[in-house]
Amino acid sequence: MRIILIEDDELIRETTVELLELAGHETVAAAASGGEALDASRGLAADLAIVDFSLPDMDGDEAATRLREIFPAIPIIITSGRRFDPGDFSVGHPVFFLQKPYDLETLETVLKEALSVLPR
């Protein structure tokens, strides 16, 4: 699967890219801000986006909403150290939540859930 990752914490971003690779996925864009991700995403093919809720230039809900303008049906996984419910986001469905800190097993579980909404 081709994934866009938006995470402002460099260590978490790099670790998540490594975890995604271990799980057999390709990170097509790894950005530290929403704006950087949006610029990098134009012209890319992506199947899913993982978006940190707290970004330096916009919140994760806005970043996800703007990604949906580029990729209308893309599943979005919002990550945060705070607890949220997917219904808390205005981006619309499909949206999933991944609680930080997470490990490979937890990441894979949420990825499988998100992948289940993609057309086969």
The count of structural domains within the chain is 1
Residue 22 located in a structural domain = yes
Q: Which amino acid is at 36?
A: E
Residue 73 located in a structural domain = yes
With vertex at residue 114, the alpha carbon angle to CA 96 and CA 108, rounded to the nearest 5 degrees, is 100
> Within 10 Å of residue 77's Cβ, how many Cβ atoms?
23
Residue 105 located in a structural domain = yes
Residue 27 located in a structural domain = yes
- pLDDT value at residue 95: 84
Phi, psi of 48 (to 5 degrees): -160, 155
Q: Is the pLDDT of residue 60 over 70?
A: yes
DSSP code string of 30-56? EESSHHHHHHHHTT---SEEEEESB-S
pLDDT tens digit string along 3-25?
A: 999 999 999 999 999 999 999 99
Q: Is the distance from CB of 20 to CB of 49 less than 8 angstroms? A: no
Residues 6+ apart with CB under 8 A from 65: 90, 91
- pLDDT value at residue 29: 95
Residue 120 located in a structural domain = no
User: Would you say how long the chain is, in residues?
Assistant: 120
Q: pLDDT band at residue 93, thresholds of 50, 70 and 90?
A: low
Residue 75 sits in a domain whose CATH number is 3.40.50.2300
Residue-number span of the structural domain to which 8 is assigned? 2-115
> Within 10 Å of residue 45's Cβ, how many Cβ atoms?
8
Joined together, the tokens standing for residue 70 give 């580029």
Residue 28 located in a structural domain = yes
Q: Is the distance from CB of 116 to CB of 47 less than 8 angstroms? A: no
